[in-house]
């Protein structure tokens, strides 16, 4: 009998997932504008172009892991977390483009912050201008959770439509396209220390693979 209820639950969640997918498609439309861009060695070293495939995993934290998280943090809510991660994603893009990272420093691991700053410093040295116009967020979901004795780590996948371009000091495009949207896939890892009274999550890793 218990297995029957599990199968019914799976069927119900499957129907809900199909409904949400069609609704999301209607909201965002069908335009992709996905095009591979050619990058030279210089821009590859700067890791500017990150239009890469990411393997899809589970849609969110499974029930067992969620219960473990709630035991540690009774106030945890998946929807609130994903909303916060999406807002922070947008904040990081804006800060990285403007070259002003002060708004994200307290929420970013020092090594990640240093990587952002180094890229900005190199860009400024070459008198280059970065354009990132975030058009829409296609997908924002938790793909992995790791719970240890000291921390909770959640991996979040972002699939977004952006206009991205890197301009040289003469305003010539050296990477990207300032007119056509592309699909960009990233996966970020957020961490929260269990014994830390700070309620905020910290960005500890970014990758595109």
Per DSSP, the residues of 22-56 read HHHHHHH-S----------HHHHHTT---------
- pLDDT value at 82 more than 90: yes
Residue 168, SS3 per DSSP:
coil
Average pLDDT over residues 114-141: 96
Question: What pLDDT score was predicted for residue 121?
Answer: 97
Per-residue tokens: 198: 């700070």
Listed residue (193, 97, 82, 52) closest to 142, CA to CA: 82
**pLDDT at residue 75 is higher than 80:** yes
Q: In what order do the strands lie in the sheet with 202-207?
A: 129-147, 151-167, 173-193, 202-207
Tens digit of pLDDT for each residue in 107-118?
A: 999 999 999 999
Contacts for 34-37: CB closer than 8 Å, 24+ residues apart: 34/182, 34/183, 35/177, 35/180, 35/182, 37/175, 37/176, 37/177, 37/182
Mean pLDDT of 179-199: 93
pLDDT higher than 50, residue 35: no
Give me the mean pLDDT over the 165-172 stretch: 96
Confidence class for position 195, pLDDT limits 50, 70, 90: confident
Between CA 184 and CA 36 the distance in angstroms is 11
DSSP 6: H
CB of 195 closer than 8 Å to CB of 155: no
What does pLDDT average to over the chain?
79
What separation in angstroms does the CA of 61 have from each of 4, 77, 144, 152, 199? Answer: 23, 11, 7, 12, 19
**Which H or E run contains 126?**
none
Per the DSSP assignment, residues forming a β-bridge with 159 are 139, 185
Provide mean pLDDT across the span 47-52.
Answer: 40
Q: Tokens standing for 72? A: 């540690």
Q: Is the pLDDT of residue 179 over 90?
A: yes
The arithmetic mean of pLDDT across residues 54-65, rounded, is 58
């Amino acid at each position: 009998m218990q297995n029957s209820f599990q199968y019914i639950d799976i069927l119900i969640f499957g129907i809900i997932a199909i409904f949400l997918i069609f609704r999301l498609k209607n909201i965002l439309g069908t335009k992709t504008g996905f095009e591979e861009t050619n990058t030279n060695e210089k821009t590859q070293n700067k890791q500017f172009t990150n239009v890469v495939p990411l393997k899809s995993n589970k849609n969110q934290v499974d029930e067992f892991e969620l219960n473990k998280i709630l035991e540690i943090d009774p106030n945890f809510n998946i929807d609130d977390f994903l909303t916060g991660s999406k807002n922070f994603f947008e904040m990081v893009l804006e800060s990285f483009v403007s070259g002003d990272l002060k708004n994200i420093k307290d929420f970013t691991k020092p090594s990640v912050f240093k990587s952002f700053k180094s890229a900005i410093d190199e860009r400024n040295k070459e008198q280059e201008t970065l354009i990132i116009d975030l058009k829409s967020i296609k997908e924002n979901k938790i793909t992995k959770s790791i719970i240890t004795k000291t921390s909770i780590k959640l991996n979040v996948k972002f699939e977004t439509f952006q206009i991205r371009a890197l301009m040289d000091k003469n305003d010539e495009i050296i990477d990207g396209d300032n007119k056509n949207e592309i699909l960009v896939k990233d996966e970020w890892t957020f961490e929260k220390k269990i014994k830390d009274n700070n309620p905020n999550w910290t960005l500890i890793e970014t990758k595109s693979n």
